[in-house]
Amino acid sequence: MTDPLLALRPWDAPEVTSWGRLPMNAVDRRAGAHSLDGGWRFQLLSAPHAPVGGAWSTATVPGAWTMQDTDDLPRYLNVRMPFAEFPPRSPAEDNPTGVYEREIDVPAGWAGRRIVLQVGAAESVLLVHVDGRPVGVSKDSHLAAEFELTEFVRPGGRAVLRLTVVKWSDASHLEDQDHWWHGGITRSVLLYATDPLYLADVDVRAGRDGELRVDCRVRDTGGALPAGWYLDGELDGLALAQDTAFDRENAEDERVSAFLGEARLRTRVPEVRPWTAETPELYGLTVRLHRADGTVADTSRHRIGFRDVAVVGRDLLVNGERVYIRGVNRHDFHPLTGRTVTYDDLRADLVLLKRFGFNAIRTAHYPGDPALYDLADELGFYVVDEADIESHDHAHEIADDPRHLNAFVDRVSRMVLRDKNRPSVVIWSLGNESDYGANHDAAAGWVRRHDPSRPLQYEGAAKRGWADPEVASDIACPMYAPLEECVAHALSGKQTKPLIQCEYSHAMGNSNGTLADHWAAIEATPGLQGGFIWEFWDHGILQSVNDGRPVGRGGAGLYDNGVAAPGYRWAYGGDFGEKDHDGAFVADGVVFPDRTPKPVMYEHRELAAPLRLELFRHEGLVVSNHQHFRGLDWLRGTWELVLADGRTLTAAAELPALLPGETAVVPFPLALPPDGGEAWLTLRVTTAEDLAWAPRGTEVCTPQVLLRAGAQAPEAAVREPAATGPAVTRPVEADADGLLVHPLLTVAPTLSLWRAPTDNDELGGMAPRWRAWGLDSLVRKVVSVRREGPSVTVLAEYAGTTGVVRHRQVLTPVEGGVRIDEQAELPAEFDDVARVGTVFETVAGLDLLEWFGQGPWESYPDRSGGAPVGHHALPVDALFTPYLRPQESGGRHGVRHFTLSASDATGLAVALDEPRQVSVTRYRAEDLTAVAHHDELVPRAGCVVHLDAAHRGLGTASCGPDTFPSYLVAPGVHRWSWTLRVL
């Protein structure tokens, strides 16, 4: 006999969003439930109608089968669907279908109780059978589905539970998000029991005035409710009683039948401690449902927060404050499990985000696991909760197609029903990149009726007009809008809604240029309130190079510090043999696949600093509290006076007691020595006590002010005419081609205009242009080598395919070394190049870089905010940032002078005429350009050193705006000088 669920063909029926599934609600059943996680019998069929009957293997639940031992591997496509069928169809034959089976032992003690199965997430269609009998169907891959099993199982008995998961369906067309395609059960499976009389839903409204209202829905499996039931509860010890006025109204309301159990608890909490992302104050709420005899039938526990959120004019207000939204887009990702994340994984994500100054998360592009919201409530994040709708490839057709109407409303409403009590959730989002149609308006209408307490956003609607009052978005939430357009809108006088970009600053590879400029504009422009960086993760899956398979759960320990162990790599699109794919576009996060922060995180941390420092007319320092809701008492500071001559003086800092937004002038903590050259004062700020997200002593920010410019800096020497004293006797050695001969250099200094293209350079179209100009393979031709006394002047031409750069190098002996004065003249057609500077290579063994300049992290001209000027030291191998697709990496901005030394302290010292961009790596630009993955790089024994007179900003052009004109390298004449000495 044909199985009715299969006969229904729900994978090709967009109108069918579920069958037999229980309504979503906000009662948390995780505590006390029986976990069905673990090994299940498993078969992967070629299509849903293929017969089950092959050999069973074992699959771990939760876990995508694409990350386990099957032939159906992960696949990365951004916009394009992985199959040709037009919506609502899916492939008839080639549709991987996982059959999961296991026995469930139903406790004898559950006799008389209502038994419920909860499947945390399954993609994309779930069919449930018990002992071969059809139970239900569900779609909506990132929300739980519940089914009542009371009728299907016998307490004290054993039953066979089968979950069939069909990978491709009409729902896949609504789940076309930009990440890996997987299949399987990706969140936990639970079994629980309740009394037949149970809490069907609890709806909490808790405002910052302390007003608490808890609306409960009570149901009975028998239908009509037994007489005499009632509710009570407590809030951190404060007793809550049923609102009798509400009961009276209900009793008089003829529409309220005996089937509809509604009751309300109500109180006002005096001196409430409001919830904000800075002060995530939670209260424990317990709701109890009693039978007439006073015994407890059901209990629901919640951690709630008292807060208000509102859009007023063009401001988003949390508790009346216009808070900055320092957000990130977060997908569910793990390099070993693909999509399945544990509580510890989630906690580690959010802890890291807190440490780097983020205060907001957009759940791009589907609702997260309930634990994500537990953590956001507890640690303090503003959450844009986004429904699981992205119909990208067929967006226009689907947005108005009534066959998909149910799915839109279903997905949005189920998210709201589940998460409505979360203080962290401040905005609902209708989804992502699905055009804008009647289906959105239907979903928006449902949300506005059900939860008027929160704003709603949808980028696709906002796109119709940032100020348009009609559309289904209370926020102007564009993605990757040019900053100047945002500012112009805010200044136009026409802005009607807060402008908070749902995506900006695309973090693919070496990126996030101009983040500091964005924040300067946001803070200076009323109406701009922040945005969400795209995105948190580089989705590199750990892959064995040998067999090309995902390593899976056994891979813990096979990576460190952003790098996969030898024999492994971070796979991106195409690495699992996919024919159609979108390559490394899936690696576009601010953390590596093992959660190691990329350098941009340090800049973000500084931009989000709770405390700012400025110079006050050379009389002292202005300290300001840059937070919205709390003082500085959770922080501790240390002053560091950094002098160019190598000294760093320290003193404990007394942070002033400041309310949010207040400033105070404090005297200079340390006397500035008259000598010592350029001087900077840094306030190193750490946590003063253990916090949920950081142990005491965790660095929070390092604001810095310049106390004295670098007139007396050692590098000033290079500007002076060459010393002609008796100490300088040896003339500079150069070969017939005018190349410097030096015992510590294996490749003499020459001109470089090329960098290994970043993802932004490639996708933004710059690198193709540079290649067309021949900048990656300039041909050097010596024009003249002229010796004058001990100096050598070399004129050379560097020819590209379309232009010639004239380069002059004057090599002059100075005490202990050589001074190199350089000039390059770029023709007008080279109007935007990666760099103009010098490159040379050293002998092996110079493995330590010590520098005075910005650091210690990697920094670039348009991404240098979090790197204070100081005396830094790092092993050369630690300077490189292992972006998944190798590219320009490891640069340090504003370097004044540096040494490269061997373990016996011999080596070389370089002083620059002014702060310059420097990089020291094991790789030539061409080494990096030649390979697709980090593991293919072969480090050179010596160092490849770049000193740049000018280095192009990074921008974000892989998806969004390029860097600003001020960070471009212009044609014309560039001059720079440096000295090279032997230590």
By CB under 6 A, residue 503 contacts ligand GAL: yes
Minimum gap (Å) between residue 506 Cβ and ligand GAL = 6
Closest distance of CB 123 from ligand GAL, Å = 17
Residue selected from 959, 968, 969, 980 as contacting ligand GAL according to rule CB under 6 A: 959
Cβ neighbourhood burial of 822 (10 Å; 0-12, 13-18, 19+) = buried
For residues 637 and 655, the answer to whether their CB atoms sit within 8 Å is yes
Residue 542 and residue 564 in contact, taking contact as beta carbons nearer than 8 Å: yes
- Contact flag: residue 369 with ligand GAL (CB under 6 A): no
Nearest residue (CB) to ligand GAL, 364 versus 824:
364
Q: Which is nearer to ligand GAL, 586 or 775 (CB)?
A: 586
Catalytic residue among 123, 378, 433, 606: 433
Residues whose CB is less than 8 angstroms from the CB of residue 354 and which lie 6 or more positions away in sequence, other chains included: 379, 380, 381, 693, 694
Among 374, 588, 776, 821, the residue binding ligand GAL under the rule CB under 6 A is 588
Q: Which is nearer to ligand GAL, 189 or 399 (CB)?
A: 399
Indicate the residue among 198 and 532 with the shorter CB distance to ligand GAL.
532
Cross-strand bridge partners of residue 542? 570
Residue 389 or 980: which CB sits closer to ligand GAL? 389
Helices (H), 874-966: 925-930
Applying CB under 6 A, does 479 fall inside the site for ligand GAL?
A: yes
The conformation of residue 601, written as its DSSP 8-state character, comes to: H
Cβ proximity to ligand GAL: between 177 and 921 the closer is 177
Shortest separation between residue 540's beta carbon and ligand GAL, angstroms: 14
Q: Which residues of 166-201 are buried (b: 16+ CB within 10 A; e: fewer)?
A: bbbbbbbbbbbbbbbbbbbbbbbbbbbbbbebbbbb
Please report how close the Cβ of residue 478 comes to ligand GAL at its closest, in angstroms. 11
Residues sharing a CB contact under 8 Å with residue 875, sequence separation 6 or more, in sequence order: 847, 848, 849
- Contact letters for ligand GAL, residues 398-437 (x by CB under 6 A): ----------------------------------xx----
Q: Which stretches of 451-575 are DSSP H helices?
A: 459-462, 483-491, 515-524
CB of 585 to ligand GAL, least distance (A): 6
Q: What's the rounded Cα separation, in Å, for the pair 316 and 321? A: 8
Is the distance from CB of 881 to CB of 910 less than 8 angstroms? no
In angstroms, give the least distance from the CB of 586 to ligand GAL. 8
Q: Helix or strand or coil: residue 873?
A: strand
Residue 409 or 586: which CB sits closer to ligand GAL? 586
Asked whether the beta carbons of 967 and 862 are under 8 A apart, the reply is yes
- Is 689 among the residues known to form the active site? no
Minimum CB–partner distance for residue 958 and ligand GAL (Å): 8
> Within 13 Å, how many C-alpha atoms sit on residue 55's CB side?
3
Catalytic site residue from 503, 603, 606, 858: 503
Q: Is 146 in the site for ligand GAL (CB under 6 A)?
A: no
Please say if 433 is a catalytic residue: yes
Query: What is the rounded distance in angstroms from the CA atom of residue 744 to the CA atom of residue 942?
Result: 10
**Is the bond into 856 cis (omega within 30 degrees of 0)?**
yes
* DSSP per position, 125-147: EEEEEETTEEEEEE--TTS-EEE
* Contact set for ligand GAL, span 522-541 (CB under 6 A): 534
Nearer to ligand GAL, 319 or 505 (CB): 505
**Does 78 help bind ligand GAL (rule: CB under 6 A)?**
yes
Q: Look at residues 733, 706, 755 and name the one whose alpha carbon lies nearest to residue 896.
A: 706
| Total residues in contact with ligand GAL, by rule CB under 6 A | 13
Touching ligand GAL, residues 156-185 (CB under 6 A): 177-178
Q: Does 391 bind ligand GAL (CB under 6 A)?
A: no
- Which residue has the CB atom at the shortest distance from ligand GAL? 178
CA distance 847 to 367: 47
Query: Least separation, in Å, of the C-beta of 502 and ligand GAL?
Result: 8
Shortest CB 179 distance to ligand GAL, Å: 8
Does residue 79 contact residue 125 with C-beta atoms inside 8 Å?
A: no
End-to-end Cα distance, the chain: 86
Q: Which helix (H) or strand (E) holds 450?
A: helix 438-450
Q: Which residues contact 247 (CB under 8 A, 6 or more apart)?
A: 263, 264
* Identity of residue 140: D
Site string for ligand GAL, 430-459 (x = CB under 6 A): --xx--------------------------
By beta-carbon proximity to ligand GAL, the closer residue of 587 and 925 is 587
- Strands 456-457, 425-429: pairing kind: parallel
Contacting positions for ligand GAL (CB under 6 A): 78, 177-178, 365, 432-433, 479, 503, 506, 534, 585, 588, 959
* Residue numbers annotated as active site: 433, 503
